[in-house]
Amino acid sequence: MAAGERSTRDAFGQALLELADIDEELVVVDGDVGSSTRVSRFAGRFPDRFFSVGMAEQDMILTAAGLALCGLNVYVSSFASFLVGRGYEQIRSAVAIPSLPVKIVGSHCGVTVGEDGASHQMLEDLALMRVFPNMTVLVPADYASALSLVKKSSEMASPVYIRLGRAPSPDIYGDGDDGFVPGGGRVLREGADVTVCCCGIMVFEALRAADILARQNISAEVIDCYSVSPLPAQQILESVHRTGCCVAAEEHFARGGLGEAVASLVSGAYPVPVKQVAVFDRFGQSGSPAELQEYYGLTASQIVSAAVQVWTMRRR
């Protein structure tokens, strides 16, 4: 595991600069939050390719759709709670239905937004976006994977949603690791007793949980499901065939996110016990990221508890 902590939103800003140097058709649409979404450096270097439409998320989506229809490679970014929340009908009608290759980047997701509270802590975006046909949904776990996935998304000819966080997250992958593809996953630790599917900040927690479980003689296989839609189905099914049980961990509502996607997959192909570590039936609140992560049970200890439960019920 690499050392240090960096934010996935910082990786987004860096990826845009690198992409813009080789793709003259790349443009960015933002809504007066460029310093927060990390697109301000892009705006400074490429002012003719940057469009700030103000705090008008519905207009942002429609502008992005229009630019895509003109053949441009479009990224549209803002806080997910507003971009996805306010712009949902426009995303559906102007991007998803015509399947335009607009890259929608929602930052400041999950309770680790911190002190801004429930209004800014988007916990339902994966549920909203993964239901769309032909919409790729990506949730990088750290800086390196975010950098790679943003770059890979520029090559896609269909809509993409990329979920980013506000707070720095521990480095998991080394710089230059480019082995991330939409629809893919990464087995970070092999194991024979329980499968742990995770995404975003919960990948680091899952690796910590695997260390604790190993001391209890339970071997956990950890899969970074950075592609929530489409899922890395083959990797997940191969794993649960070996382990006979599964835990899904995410910084999202339990309804509609990675956990339900994994449960749906395995119930139809190879039914095994599945437990979720997620936010259950409540909104966020103000607090520090660390306090909120602990309060909502988005920790290694909760993954350990869930793993022990499914291990006792596993398919033998």
Q: Catalytic residue numbers?
A: 57
DSSP state of 122: B
Backbone phi, then psi, for 227, in 5-degree steps?
A: -100, 105
Beta carbons of 306 and 205 less than 8 angstroms apart: no
- Is the bond preceding residue 230 a cis peptide, omega within 30 degrees? yes
Longest Cα pair distance anywhere in the chain, in angstroms?
61
94, with CB counted inside 10 A (0-12, 13-18, 19+), is: buried
Q: What whole-number distance in Å separates Cα of residue 286 and Cα of residue 89?
A: 28
12: left (phi over 0), alpha (psi -120 to 50) or beta: alpha
Q: What is the CB-side half-sphere exposure of residue 113 using CA atoms within 13 A? A: 26
